[in-house]
Amino acid sequence: MEKIRTIIVDDEPLAREGLRRLLAVDSDIEILCECGDGVQAVKDIDAHKPDLVFLDVQMPEIDGFAVLEALDPRRMPAVIFVTAYDRYALDAFKIHATDYILKPVDKDRFRTALDRAKADIRLRSAQAVNDRLLNILDHIRTREKIYGRIVVKSAGRIFFLKIDEIDWIEAAGDYVYIHTRKEKHLLRETMASLEARLDPEKFIRIHRSIIVNIDCIKELEPMFHGDYAVRLYNGSCLTSGRTYRDRLERLLKKDI
């Protein structure tokens, strides 16, 4: 029987050591590597494609949720979340039946979570695992607004894009292009999901495929059938959709 290829992700060395010791006595587990931060975790998970990841929720810079968002959802490993205590996170895990363990780690609780993950993996129910993880991401996205920055993975790099740097956003199937003044970035997220997370006081959806930063709008020019040409300070000219006309008209009544 093949071993379950596992990665440990936690920014605390003692926490990683504790998980490593608990896993060392299980002959089914092969520890591929350990990661001390979210950026390295994304790189190692992409490179090694593990079966199982122990993922710390609370890490600096890129937390456990951002790590999941940066991964390819088609190749999502089974994940056991590790957290010191996060009421909202625990509610999300319970709702979507994804396992987690609390710090300090209780051996019995650890064994229960590990046995469950092993059963999922052995039964080859990868799709069920993926569905639960994606449900968690959707749940988080609909509850948490983006007000500071967003994690972008591009050409092997992971970096932070300040929300104020975004000029406009364009739909591309299950992805979006985020346009800034100098470049654009491809992000694995749908327009509906991203719109739900953005501050509606700063961003407006003008078309089913376009979201615009209100501060970047220079001019609105009425067109036929109630559409508008939306001109931005960067020179871009976008066209609104008829069904989104009311949003632009409300904008016209405010100081922008």
Q: What is the mean pLDDT of residues 151-163?
A: 74
Tokens 């001390």 -> residue = 36
By percentage, how much of the chain surpasses pLDDT 70?
82
Strands 237-239 and 217-222: unpaired
Q: Identical fold at 4-143 and 149-252?
A: no
Q: Give the Cα separation of 244 and 207 in Å (integer).
A: 6
User: What is the C-alpha separation between 225 and 242, in angstroms, rounded?
Assistant: 7
CB count, 10 Å around CB of 14? 10
Find the DSSP H helices in the chain. Answer: 13-24, 38-48, 64-70, 87-95, 107-122, 126-143, 191-197, 245-252
| Pairing, β 166-172 against β 175-180 | antiparallel
Residue type at position 51: D
Cα atoms found within 13 Å of the Cα of residue 27, Cβ hemisphere only = 1
Percentage helix, strand, coil for the chain under 3-state DSSP, each rounded to 5: 40, 30, 30
Amino acid 256: pLDDT: 46
**Run of H or E including 149:** strand 149-154
Which of these CATH numbers, 2.40.50.100, 2.40.50.1020, 3.30.450.20, 1.10.40.30, describes 149-252? 2.40.50.1020
pLDDT surpassing 80 at residue 6 = yes
In the chain, domain spans: 4-143, 149-252
- Cβ pair 51, 30 in contact under 8 A: no
Q: Estimate to the nearest angstrom the gap between the alpha carbon of 125 and the chain centroid.
A: 22
Which of 62-66, 166-170, 189-193 is predicted most confidently? Answer: 166-170
Number of residues that make up the chain: 256
- Confidence class of residue 155 from pLDDT cuts 50, 70 and 90? low
pLDDT at 15: 94
Whether this model's pTM surpasses 0.75: no
- Angstrom distance (rounded) from CA 134 to CA 219: 39
CA distance 109 to 114: 9
Give the span between the Cα atoms of 92 and 83, in whole angstroms. Answer: 13
Sheet containing 210-213, strands listed edge to edge, beginning at the edge strand earlier in sequence: 184-187, 175-180, 166-172, 210-213, 203-207
Query: 4-143: which CATH topology?
Result: Rossmann fold (3.40.50)
Read off the pLDDT band of 148 (50, 70, 90): low
Q: Is the pLDDT of residue 136 over 80?
A: no
